[in-house]
A and B are shown apart, each in its own frame.
Chain A
Amino acid sequence: MVSRSSFCQRFAAGVGGLPTSIRNGAARAGDVGRARVPVVAGRVQLREKGVLVCGEEVGSLKTQSRRRWREGSSSSVTVSTNAMSAQLEEEPAAKGEARVILEVQGLRAVVADTRQEILNGVDLVIREGEVHAIMGKNGSGKSTLSKVLVGHPDYEVTGGTAIFKGENLFDKEPEERSHCGLFLSFQSPVEIPGVSNMDFLRMACNARRNARGLEELGPLEFYGFVAEKLTALNMDPRFLDRNVNEGFSGGEKKRNEILQLSVLEADMAILDEIDSGLDIDALRDVANAVVGLKKDNNAILMITHYQRLLDYIMPTYVHIMEAGRIVKTGDMSLAAQLEAGGYNAVQAMKM
C-alpha cells in the first residue's frame, strides 16, 4: 500500500537527498516504489516545468479524487480532460492510497465590505496523513484563506471550489463545516465572558456528536471525556471553570484552541499562527500537543512565519503564498531557505 504523495516524497528523498525522517508515510512506501518510478518521473517533470506538485497536479484530478473518496479504496481512475492528465494517468491510484481530505481549486475571495480582493486563485490539495505549512509575507492572504475555508462572514467567495471530504464546503454553513470535521484554530481567539469553557466545549462536542448521529454526552460523561483530553494535553482542569478565553494569556488561548481541537476530534485542523505570542516553552508544549493529535487519517494545515514551529511539527509540504495565491511549494528545505534569505531570496530562486 502506498500513497501517491509518499511516492513523490520517496522520490524527492532519493533525488534531493532530503532526510527521510521528515517524510510522513515513507516507511509505508516500501517495496512497491520501484515499479512506480516512471510515474514519479512524470511528476518530477511537472515540477521542472515550474508547475507545482500540490496545486497543479491534483487540480486536474478533481473528478478522479472525488470519485475515489466515494468509492473508498477502489482503484478506478477516470480519464481527465485536463491536458496534464495525460501524464498523470500513468499513475494509477494505488490501492489504499491516502484519500484527499481537502481540495481547493482556483479559490478567489474578497472582503465582504470593501470588495477588496484577497485571495486570487488558490490551489491546494491536502491528503490524509499530511501536514502542510503555508508561509508568506504579512498580508499575502494566509489567514484569509483559513477564514474563508471555515466560512467567516467577513469574506465572500467569488470563485473557485473547495471540496472537503468529497463535499462542497461553500454549500455549508460554518457550523456544518465544523460538523464535517474541519477545524480552525484562530490566530486571536475572541473572549466570551459569561460562558464557561466547560459549557462551551460540551455544546461544541454535543453539536458534532449530534451531527454524526451519536448520543449527546451529559455533564458527567462529558467531564470524563474531557478530563482524558486534558491529561493528554497536560492541561490544568481548572481551565474548564474559566470563561472562554477571558483573561487568558497568549499561551493559554492557544492551548485552549488545541483543547477544542482535541475535543472535537476534527479530521482537518487549520492552525493559524499557533506560534504567535508564545514563549519558547509554551510553543514546545503547544506543538507537542498538536503532534500528539496527529494521526494517519487526519491532516493539518498550519500557517506560520517561523521555522521553529515546523521543527516541531514536520510538514510534508511547505507552500509560499504571495498576493493571494500559492506561488511556490516545496518541502522543509524551502522553509530553511526562507529563514536564511527571506522572501526575496526565494522569489529570486523561482525566477
Chain B
Amino acid sequence: MAMAAATGSAGVTGALASSRQGAAVSRISSHKCFVPVNFAAQRFRATGKGIGNFVIRLEFALGFFMPGLLERWLNGWYGQLGVGTRATIAEAVKSEASGAVSGSLRDQAEASFSLSKDPGGPDFFLLDLAEKLENSVPSEEQGDSLGARALAELRYKSAEQALNLRWPTNKDEAYRFTDVRFLKNLDIAPTPAQPASVPNFESELGLGETEAFRLVFVDGVISESLSKVEGLSGGAYVGSVCKITADSAGSALSQALEYLGKPAAGTQDDLFTFLNGLGVQDAGLVFAPKGVQLSKPIHVVYYSTGRGGSKDGEEVTSISLATPRLLVVAESGARVEIIEQFVGAPDQVYWTNQVCEIYVANGAEVSHSCSQEQERSAVHIKQTHVSQGEKSTYKLVEAEVGGRLSRHNLQVIQLGSDTQTEFSTFSLSSKRQVQDLHSRLVLDHPRGISRQIHKCIVTHRLGQAVFDGNVKVNRFAQQTDAGQLSRSLLLAQGATVNVKPNLQIIADDVKCTHGAAISDLEEEQLFYFQARGIDPLTARSALVFSFGAEVLQSFGNDYLKKRLERLVKSSLATDGVVNPNVPVGQ
C-alpha cells in the first residue's frame, strides 16, 4: 500500500514539516545536525476499497539519520480512506544529538510553532472584546478576600498579555486547520455576573445519581445553591476562590492560590487563556492537602444559559461568552478525581472559554474526566495546564461530542522524574462540527511514562476533526517510555481530518512509539463479524460504536459513561452511520 511505503521512509527519522513550516525547516537545515536530503511535498494516491481514488498528503522533509541515537518504533502506521474523504498527516519527528544543538536554534524552531506575536498594529476587535470582558466583571467582585485579590491580579496580568497578541488565523501554526475567525464576525456578549435563573438540569444530568462532591458553574460563576460540597475532611477545599478570606492567610489553602494563573515554565501561551484571565468572574478551587485522598470524585458542571446570545434562523448573530476557571491543587501524596462536564441550555448560542489548571505535586494522583456535551451552535475553547511533580500520576479521559467548534489545548509539563501520564480522548464530529485537540507533553526528567490514545470519528462531509499531538522528550528525560496512537474514522464522503502527531526527541535513551491511522473500518474486524454470521450493516454499526466505546469505557463514572454512550449512539444514528438497534454497549 502506498501509505506503508510512505511511512516506511518517514520512519527513517526526519525533521519534517509541512509546507507552511518552510521557514522553520530552513533554519533547522542550516545547522550541522540537520541535513535535509529531501524536502518535498509528496503525494500518494491509493485506491480505496470502493470506487474512486483519494489523495493522502504526506508532507515531510527527511533529516539526517544518526544511528544509535534514537530508538523509535512505528506502530500501526497505515492508512485506508473511504471514498472521497480527506486527510492530512503532517508529522514532525525531530531527533538531535544530545547537547549538539544550541538553545537559540531550538527556540527559533519552536517560535514558529507557537503563535505569532508580531503586532502589526493593534487588533481592534481584540481591544473591543477585552474592554467588554473587563466591564463584565462587577466592581464589587473585586472584593477584599484573598481569593478575590488573586483574581484581580490575574485579570490585570492577563489583560497585559492578551493585548500583545493577535486573533489567531490559519497562518498561525496552532490554528492552521482550525478556523476561529468566524467569532470575529459575531457580536460577543460576555455574560453578566448577576445570577441567572437556571432551569432544573440536575435531574436531566442525573447529578443526584452520582456519588460526588459537586461544583456547579452557571455562566462562569459558581452557584452556591446548586453546588454540594458538604462532608469534605482533612483540610480539603472545594469551592469558589472568592470565599477564601484573609483568615486563612498563611495556611496551605492560601498557598494553593499562588498557583492561580501561573502555569509551569514551558507552558505555551494562547490568546484564549488570557481572554479567560481577563474576563474571569469567579474561579473554582479544588484543594487536597498533603496525603489527603478525597473520598468522592468532584463533579464540576459548567452550565451556560446563553444569556445575550441570539440566532436569526440558522444564522448566529451574537454569542454569549462565559469564562469559568478551575484550579486543582493536589499536594504531595494526595489523590483527587475530577469530572468536568460542559453543558448548556437547549438551542442557545454560547461560548465557554474555560481554563483548567492542575498541579499534581510529588507522589500525588489526579484522574480527570472531561465531557463536552454542548449545543451544536455553541463554541467550546478549553485550556488544560497540568504540571506533574516527581512520581505523580495524571490521567485524562475526555469525550468531545458537542459544539460547533471545540478546541482543547492540553499541556502537561513534567517537573520531576518517574511520572505517569495518560490521555484517552475521543471526539465525534458531525454536521458543521469541528473537534480539535492540541495536546502537548513536555518531558524534562528521567523515567517518565506516558500513554496517549486519541480517537475521532467524522460522520458528515461538513465535519472536521483536528489532532495535534506533541511529545517533547528533552535532554534529561532519559529512559522515557512514551506511546502515542491516533486513530481516525472517516465515515462520510468529504469528511475531513487533520492529524499532526509529532515527537521531538533529544534524549538518546528513550522508547517512543507513535502511530496515526486514518481509515474506514478495519476489514479484518468486519470480516470477523461476518464470519460469525453478523451482517455487514450490523457489524459496521457495532464497530463504529465500539471504536469510540474503547475510550468511553475508561470513564470512571458509570452514569456519565452511559450518558455519553447514549449521546454518541444517537448522534451516530442521526447521521445514519449506525443502526441504533444494534445491541452493543447496553
User: Contact between B584 and A153 (Cβ–Cβ < 8 Å)?
Assistant: no
Q: Which residues of B contact A325 (CB under 8 A)?
A: none
Q: Which one of A151, A153, A200, A211 contacts B532 once the chains associate, using CB atoms below 8 Å?
A: A200
User: Contact between B538 and A203 (Cβ–Cβ < 8 Å)?
Assistant: yes
Q: Which one of A189, A194, A264 contacts B548 once the chains associate, using CB atoms below 8 Å?
A: A194
Q: Which of A161-179 contact B (CB under 8 A)?
A: 173-175, 178-179
B67 is an interface residue with CB less than 8 A from chain A? no
Q: Which of chain B's residues has its CB closest to A245's CB?
A: B528
- Shortest Cβ distance from residue A198 to the other chain B in the assembled complex, whole angstroms: 10
Q: Which residues of A contact B524 (CB under 8 A)?
A: 190
A345 is an interface residue with CB less than 8 A from chain B? no
How many residues belonging to A are interface residues under a CB distance threshold of 8 Å? Answer: 31
B576 is an interface residue with CB less than 8 A from chain A? no
- Shortest Cβ distance from residue A221 to the other chain B in the assembled complex, whole angstroms: 13
User: Contact between B542 and A175 (Cβ–Cβ < 8 Å)?
Assistant: no
- Shortest Cβ distance from residue B498 to the other chain A in the assembled complex, whole angstroms: 24
User: Contact between A195 and B530 (Cβ–Cβ < 8 Å)?
Assistant: no
- Shortest Cβ distance from residue B243 to the other chain A in the assembled complex, whole angstroms: 43
Q: Which residues of A contact B530 (CB under 8 A)?
A: 151, 173-175, 178
Complex formed: what's the CA distance from A190 to B531 in Å?
Answer: 12
A323 is an interface residue with CB less than 8 A from chain B? no
Question: Known: A194-B547, A195-B584, A264-B532. Is A203-B542 also a contact (CB below 8 A)?
Answer: yes
A12 is an interface residue with CB less than 8 A from chain B? no
User: Contact between A190 and B533 (Cβ–Cβ < 8 Å)?
Assistant: no
A150 is an interface residue with CB less than 8 A from chain B? yes
Question: Known: A193-B550, A194-B550, A195-B542. Is A208-B583 also a contact (CB below 8 A)?
Answer: no
Q: Which residues of A contact B34 (CB under 8 A)?
A: none
B140 is an interface residue with CB less than 8 A from chain A? no
B546 is an interface residue with CB less than 8 A from chain A? yes
- Shortest Cβ distance from residue B422 to the other chain A in the assembled complex, whole angstroms: 16
Complex formed: what's the CA distance from A150 to B528 in Å?
Answer: 10
User: Contact between B528 and A190 (Cβ–Cβ < 8 Å)?
Assistant: yes
Q: 1/0 per residue B522-545: CB within 8 Å of A?
A: 111101111111111010001101
How many residues belonging to B are interface residues under a CB distance threshold of 8 Å? Answer: 29
A77 is an interface residue with CB less than 8 A from chain B? no
Q: 1/0 per residue A180-207: CB within 8 Å of B?
A: 0000101001101111100110111001
Q: Which residues of A contact B533 (CB under 8 A)?
A: 175, 178-179, 204, 207-208, 211, 264
Complex formed: what's the CA distance from A192 to B542 in Å?
Answer: 10
Please give the residue numbers on chain B whose beta carbons come within 8 Å of chain A beta carbons, in ascending order: 522-525, 527-536, 538, 542-543, 545-550, 553, 582-586
- Shortest Cβ distance from residue A263 to the other chain B in the assembled complex, whole angstroms: 9
A260 is an interface residue with CB less than 8 A from chain B? yes
Complex formed: what's the CA distance from A203 to B582 in Å?
Answer: 8
Q: Which residues of A contact B538 (CB under 8 A)?
A: 203, 207
- Shortest Cβ distance from residue A270 to the other chain B in the assembled complex, whole angstroms: 10
A152 is an interface residue with CB less than 8 A from chain B? yes
Q: Which of A118-144 contact B (CB under 8 A)?
A: none
User: Contact between B583 and A150 (Cβ–Cβ < 8 Å)?
Assistant: no
Q: Which residues of A contact B536 (CB under 8 A)?
A: 175
Question: Known: A194-B546, A194-B549. Is A152-B584 also a contact (CB below 8 A)?
Answer: no
Q: Which residues of A contact B546 (CB under 8 A)?
A: 192-195, 243
New A-B pairs, 18, CB < 8 Å, besides A152-B531, A173-B530, A193-B550: A150-B531, A174-B531, A175-B534, A178-B530, A179-B533, A186-B531, A194-B549, A194-B585, A195-B546, A203-B532, A203-B538, A203-B542, A203-B583, A204-B529, A204-B532, A207-B538, A219-B586, A264-B532
Complex formed: what's the CA distance from A190 to B527 in Å?
Answer: 10
- Shortest Cβ distance from residue A142 to the other chain B in the assembled complex, whole angstroms: 17
Q: Which residues of A contact B531 (CB under 8 A)?
A: 150-152, 174-175, 178, 184, 186
Q: Which residues of B contact A175 (CB under 8 A)?
A: 529-536
Q: Which residues of B contact A200 (CB under 8 A)?
A: 529, 532, 542
Q: Which of chain B's residues has its CB closest to A150's CB?
A: B531
Selected A-B contacts with CB under 8 Å, 7 pairs: A151-B531, A153-B523, A175-B532, A194-B584, A199-B586, A244-B528, A264-B532
User: Contact between A178 and B528 (Cβ–Cβ < 8 Å)?
Assistant: no
Q: Which residues of B contact A207 (CB under 8 A)?
A: 532-535, 538
Q: Which residues of A contact B528 (CB under 8 A)?
A: 186, 189-190, 192, 244
